Amino acid sequence: MTEEVSLMNRTNELFQEQLTILNVGAPNFREDLKLQGQQVTQIKWQPPMDGDQELLELLDRYSFDDGVVEANRKAVDIVMSASPVLIGIEPAYKVVPGMTEDTILHSGPPITWDHMCGTMQGAVIGALLYEGRAADEGEARQLAASGRITFSPCHEHSAVGPMAGIISPSMPVHIVENRTTGNRAYCSVNEGLGKVLRFGAFSSSVLERLRWIEKEFAPVLNKAVEMAGGVDLKLITAQAVQMGDECHNRNKAATSLFFKEITPFMVQSGYPMPQVLRAIDFIRSNDHYFLNLSMPACKSALDAACGVERSTVVTAMARNGVEFGIKVSGLGRL
């Protein structure tokens, strides 16, 4: 304990001194730090690009093809004209296409239990414990490896999820509708920071929070969204970007705007006031709440652009901790 305190003290002292910073990668980080009066050196390095030369030449050739250019313009127009609106929050088994009692969705491209990284396996274990499918970690691991559970990518079910991206049948998911095209996208509720399922934690506190979200929080929010007639996520995002958010790592402005929009309806939802106040405080205390709204908002916009013949626009990029996958508009919904 004494060593930990000593290390923390030395760390605190470090940040009180003048720092000399080395930046690798995007130079805009260097510029931001220089504006703050920091000493920054930009390291000129980038990952080697030893790709498939034949494929690169093929891509270069088609990038100037009139048909491809026009197809890409059409796909981009579809994305830009999207109108994502939060219309509710329901258990995944009720609304997510293809969800069954034996299905668990995950981030990235397809992967089997034995190839999952530790974080994703931990999140799967947590989901099985949360669903009551296993009594302990050992049973959960055995069930996950048995072949009785279907693992499937979120992106193949009009869904998205942060980090491990685990969505199990009983988990409440935000329902976002693209009012321009009518398609919908789904995403779980952001748990906050600390020990959370998306990072592979499955302690009792993690499971208790998930059950509270299901039993107490989701009903209040669903009623509030219904009373509000939906929440315009594109409008909130546009304002938040002007306030410094990029709606992924920084969501403070967007969450605050959403909080301002939905709180009056939560108060009028008709649920017991102590329950309502806990639900309100859950959003208030989590600056990242809007992340799980911006993700399905983008998903609903990009899914609408799938299937534009000859388009090379990438409509999804996702990783599962082992592999990275993309979806391309011109390839349809593969």
pTM here is 0.86
Cα-based distances in Å from 312 to 28, 55, 67, 100, 328? 28, 14, 11, 33, 6
CA distance 113 to 123: 11
Which domains does the chain show, CATH number per domain?
A: 18-44 (no CATH), 83-304 (3.90.1710.10)
pLDDT at 53: 83
CA distance 170 to 332: 30
Biggest CA pair distance of the chain: 68
- Characterise 132 by phi-psi region: left (phi > 0), alpha (psi -120 to 50), beta (else): left
CA distance 151 to 147: 9
Question: Please, which residues bridge with residue 43 across strands?
Answer: 24
pLDDT at 51: 74
**Over its length of 334 residues, how does the chain's per-residue pLDDT go in tens digits?**
556 556 667 777 777 788 889 999 888 889 988 988 889 999 988 877 677 888 888 878 877 889 999 999 999 999 999 999 999 999 999 999 999 999 999 999 999 999 999 999 999 999 999 999 999 999 999 999 999 999 999 999 999 999 999 999 999 999 999 999 999 999 999 999 999 999 999 999 999 999 999 999 999 999 999 999 999 999 999 999 999 999 999 999 999 999 999 999 999 999 999 999 999 999 999 999 999 999 999 999 999 999 999 999 999 999 999 999 999 999 987 5
